[in-house]
């Protein structure tokens, strides 16, 4: 394509090793693309730790070369920019979509041999832009960077953020905003919607090729098993069950769980109006566009199942030539999902409560705590962390009789486990975070960056989120719950 490729000498310095497997798929699933020309790229954030993990080193490049690179003005050798085709159910409605403002540079081979997608978000229009400008604004790209790195710090599968640059261009939303490009790193950008795209075109031949590709890339053990596509469905469903359980256990609310935002790899993807819950309430919604609460905290497990049903539908022709048998097989996998979710969630909740063994009353003990938290409007994160301290709980809420009764019951349950209480508390501190990206801290940091070009609050927050399970008194301000977040709203990153 038209953009110049940087000289090889530079590439050897950086360490790119592209192997563009997706671009070797039939061209129906992508379109060649290129970054828009921008006039004043400037580096805002570069994730040096992630770069090191990827075997990339940008230290030897001049600042303007790095900015030009991450603004798509100088492409790495071996990259082959394309935009990916996909479809999706958005708030329940089917649409043909595709990368309208993203561009896949290709797949980079890391030192450990993994293949990861390198993607620009906000790099200009593509064949799939559907009237959109293909651009992104600085605030939403910084938000994705912050929250994805927070998820990574928490140990939850997620796409990563390598860099943010401003482009020097203005993007027009409700107000003029600074244009930006995020460089995203993912196990892949295959989505439920990628399969929906081919299924909608009734393109069974290419659908099979895509499924084989996804299996080879993300579930290689399934290649050659007797019913590979059914086992593929089961494996994707199980990774989603495990992922959503992880979200629930830290109070993460994705905000737009459309099928185009559900990754086949099992990573959290597409950080738009996402945010973390404070006071425990299953009805919590922060997204300004989610009027019906479809993607509320408490709905996430069942929405994932709904999305998996859309995924299963795409695979039907591959499951069995007899459509009734295909449906029956898919239904049986989908029917297992609630129990798989419950399994992952309960195992996680058991760890959060320091329980080492399993007892029949454990589920009720968990639900009783959640019921109390909801009626007391107790902070989800801080309550679990307080329980992990092993010290008497101060604070008015914890003096309520309902809580005291639950606490006594929990203490008795802990004592029935065959380990010292101190060991239980220590194990709890390893899974109950001290620091999550609190809404007011995120907003404060984004405002300073957007309005005053001051990145220090973003940098400080990122540093705090790197070790979310480690209590550090000097970081107490990141533990504070907002006084009232019932009117807090997040906006889609378009
Ligand atoms: P998202 O809300 O980021 O998951 O995007 C949903 C769909 O809208 C995807 O197909 C995006 O590529 C597309 N899209 C979002 N923002 C833009 C934009 N500014 N220009 C073109 N397409 C966009
Ligand atoms: Mg999306």
User: Which band of pLDDT confidence, cut at 50, 70 and 90, is reported for residue 488?
Assistant: confident
Residue 164 has pLDDT above 50, yes or no: yes
Mean pLDDT of the chain: 95
Please give the Cα distance from 444 to 152 (Å, whole number).
21
Look up tokens 């409605």; give the residue.
93
Q: Which of 82, 91, 101 to mutate to test the pocket of ligand 1 (most atoms within 8 A of CB)?
A: 101
From the CA of 100, which ligand is nearest?
A: 1
Q: Which of 89, 95, 100, 169 to mutate to test the pocket of ligand 1 (most atoms within 8 A of CB)?
A: 100
Q: Where are the alpha helices (DSSP H) in 295-397?
A: 300-319, 323-352, 362-376, 380-388
* Cβ of 98 below 6 Å from ligand 1: yes
* Cβ of 100 below 6 Å from ligand 1: yes
* Cβ of 129 below 6 Å from ligand 1: yes
Residue 7 has pLDDT above 90, yes or no: no
Provide the residues around ligand 2 (an ion) whose CB is within 5 A: 261, 270
Closest atom of ligand 1 to 133 CA is 20
Q: Which of 35, 82, 132 to mutate to test the pocket of ligand 1 (most atoms within 8 A of CB)?
A: 132
Residue 379 has pLDDT above 70, yes or no: yes
Residue 94 CA to ligand 1 center (angstroms) comes to 15
Beta carbons of 469 and 431 less than 8 angstroms apart: yes
Average pLDDT over every residue of 160-188:
97
Residue 1 has pLDDT above 70, yes or no: no
Tokens standing for residue 347: 């195992």
Closest atom of ligand 1 to 99 CA is 12
Average pLDDT over every residue of 56-65:
95
Catalytic residue (choose from 260, 290, 379, 485)? 260
From the CA of 182, which ligand is nearest?
A: 1
Share of the chain above pLDDT 70, in %: 97
* Cβ of 494 below 6 Å from ligand 1: yes
Q: What is the pLDDT of residues 420-477, one digit of tens each?
A: 999 999 999 999 999 999 999 999 999 999 999 999 999 999 999 999 999 999 999 9
Residue 271 CA to ligand 2 center (angstroms) comes to 8
Q: How far is CA 426 from CA 159, 200, 244, 351, in A?
A: 29, 51, 25, 11
State whether the Cα torsion 369-370-372-377 is positive or negative: positive
Please give the Cα distance from 47 to 149 (Å, whole number).
9
Average pLDDT over every residue of 33-51:
97
Residue 9 has pLDDT above 70, yes or no: no
DSSP state of 37: P
Share of the chain above pLDDT 90, in %: 94
Tell me whether residue 203 is one of the annotated catalytic residues: no
Instruction: From 100, 104, 102, 176, select the one nearest 138 (Cα to Cα).
Output: 176
Please give the Cα distance from 426 to 445 (Å, whole number).
32
Please give the Cα distance from 142 to 145 (Å, whole number).
5
* Cβ of 267 below 6 Å from ligand 1: no
Closest atom of ligand 1 to 126 CA is 21
Average pLDDT over every residue of 294-316:
98
Instruction: From 103, 43, 97, 102, select the one nearest 76 (Cα to Cα).
Output: 103
Residue 4 has pLDDT above 50, yes or no: no
* Cβ of 492 below 6 Å from ligand 1: yes
Residue 98 CA to ligand 2 center (angstroms) comes to 9
Using DSSP bridges, classify how beta strands 82-84 and 30-32 pair: parallel, antiparallel or unpaired: antiparallel
* Cβ of 352 below 6 Å from ligand 1: no
Tokens standing for residue 426: 């220590």
Average pLDDT over every residue of 5-13:
55
Note the pLDDT of residue 225: 97
Provide CB contacts within 8 A for 405, sequence distance 6+: none
* Cβ of 97 below 6 Å from ligand 1: yes
Q: What is the pLDDT of residues 77-117, one digit of tens each?
A: 999 999 999 999 999 999 999 999 999 999 999 999 999 99
Q: Angle CA(316)–CA(322)–CA(325) in degrees, nearest 5? A: 70
pTM over 0.75: yes
Tokens standing for residue 45: 């954030």
* Cβ of 255 below 6 Å from ligand 1: no
Tokens standing for residue 132: 């959109």
From the CA of 268, which ligand is nearest?
A: 2
Residue 99 CA to ligand 1 center (angstroms) comes to 7
Q: What is the pLDDT of residues 395-404, one digit of tens each?
A: 999 999 999 9
From the CA of 83, which ligand is nearest?
A: 1
Please give the Cα distance from 86 to 88 (Å, whole number).
7
Residue 261 has pLDDT above 50, yes or no: yes
User: Which band of pLDDT confidence, cut at 50, 70 and 90, is reported for residue 12?
Assistant: low
């Amino acid at each position: 394509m038209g953009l110049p490729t940087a000289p090889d000498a530079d590439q050897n310095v950086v360490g790119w090793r592209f192997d563009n497997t997706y671009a070797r798929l039939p061209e129906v699933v992508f379109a060649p693309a290129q970054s828009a020309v921008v006039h004043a790229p400037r580096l805002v954030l570069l994730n040096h730790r992630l770069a090191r993990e990827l075997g990339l080193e940008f230290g030897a490049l001049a600042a303007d070369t790095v900015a030009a690179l991450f603004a798509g003005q100088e492409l790495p050798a071996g990259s082959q920019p394309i935009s990916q085709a996909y479809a999706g159910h958005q708030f329940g409605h089917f649409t043909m979509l595709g990368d309208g403002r993203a561009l896949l540079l290709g797949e980079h081979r890391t030192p450990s041999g993994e293949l990861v997608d390198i993607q620009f978000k906000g790099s200009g229009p593509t064949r799939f832009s559907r009237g959109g400008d293909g651009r992104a604004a600085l605030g939403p790209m910084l938000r994705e960077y912050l929250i994805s790195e927070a998820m990574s710090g928490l140990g939850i599968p997620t796409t990563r953020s390598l860099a943010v640059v401003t482009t020097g261009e203005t993007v027009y939303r409700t107000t003029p905003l600074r244009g930006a490009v995020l460089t995203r790193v993912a196990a892949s950008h295959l989505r439920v919607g990628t399969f929906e795209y081919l299924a909608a075109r009734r393109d069974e031949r290419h659908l099979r090729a895509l499924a084989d590709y996804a299996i080879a890339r993300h579930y290689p053990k399934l290649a050659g098993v007797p019913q590979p596509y059914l086992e593929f469905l089961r494996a994707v469903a199980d990774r989603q069950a495990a992922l959503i359980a992880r979200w629930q256990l830290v109070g993460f609310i994705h905000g737009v769980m459309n099928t185009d935002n559900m990754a086949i790899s099992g990573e959290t993807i597409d950080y738009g109006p996402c945010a973390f819950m404070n006071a425990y309430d299953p009805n919590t919604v922060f997204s300004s566009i989610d009027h019906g609460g479809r993607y509320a905290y408490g709905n996430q497990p069942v929405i994932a199942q709904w999305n998996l049903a859309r995924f299963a539908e795409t695979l039907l022709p591959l499951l069995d030539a007899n459509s009734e048998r295909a449906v029956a097989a898919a239904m049986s996998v989908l029917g297992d999902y609630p129990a798989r979710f419950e399994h992952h969630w309960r195992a996680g909740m058991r760890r959060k409560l320091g329980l080492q063994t399993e007892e029949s009353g454990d589920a009720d003990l968990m639900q009783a705590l959640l019921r109390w938290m909801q009626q007391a409007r107790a902070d989800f994160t801080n309550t679990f962390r307080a329980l992990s301290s092993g010290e008497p709980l101060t604070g008015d809420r914890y003096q309520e009789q309902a809580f005291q009764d639950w606490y006594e019951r929990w203490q008795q349950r802990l004592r029935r486990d065959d380990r010292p209480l101190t060991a239980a508390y220590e194990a709890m501190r390893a899974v109950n975070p001290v620091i999550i990206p609190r809404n007011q801290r995120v907003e404060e940091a984004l405002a300073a960056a957007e309005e005053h070009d001051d990145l220090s609050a973003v940098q400080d927050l990122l540093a705090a989120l790197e070790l979310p399970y480690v209590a550090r008194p000097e970081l107490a301000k990141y533990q504070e719950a907002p006084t009232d977040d019932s009117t807090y709203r997040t906006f889609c990153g378009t």
